[in-house]
């Protein structure tokens, strides 16, 4: 097997192990977030998270902002 391919495989394995460990650590701390409500103030408004997950309003605000960004990018890309 070529050396470059071996290095790539090692990096992928290390990345997967790191991701697995971070998931384990975050799931171990998940019980601390179960009854937690967090509000983040951003330029698109207040984003609310319950138990670490976004509320429906927060998700809608994020999708609305994504629509604005896509429309802006499309408008700019159509300019000569």
Sequence-ordered alpha helix ranges (H) in 1-80: 3-28, 30-33, 56-78
The tens digit of pLDDT for each residue in 52-69 reads 888 999 999 999 999 999
> Mean of the pLDDT values across residues 4-19?
72
**What's the pLDDT at 53?**
86
What is residue 57's predicted lDDT score, i.e. its pLDDT?
93
Can you give the pLDDT at residue 2? Answer: 66
- For residues 39 and 25, give the distance between their C-alpha atoms in angstroms, rounded to a whole number: 23
pTM value?
A: 0.53
């Amino acid at each position: 097997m070529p050396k470059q391919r071996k290095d790539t495989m090692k990096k992928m394995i290390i990345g997967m192990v790191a991701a697995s460990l971070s998931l384990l650590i975050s799931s171990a701390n998940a019980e601390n977030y179960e009854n937690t409500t967090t509000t983040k103030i951003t330029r698109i408004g207040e984003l609310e998270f319950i138990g670490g997950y976004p509320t429906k309003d927060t998700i809608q605000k994020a999708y609305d902002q994504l629509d604005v960004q896509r429309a802006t990018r499309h408008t700019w890309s159509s300019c000569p």
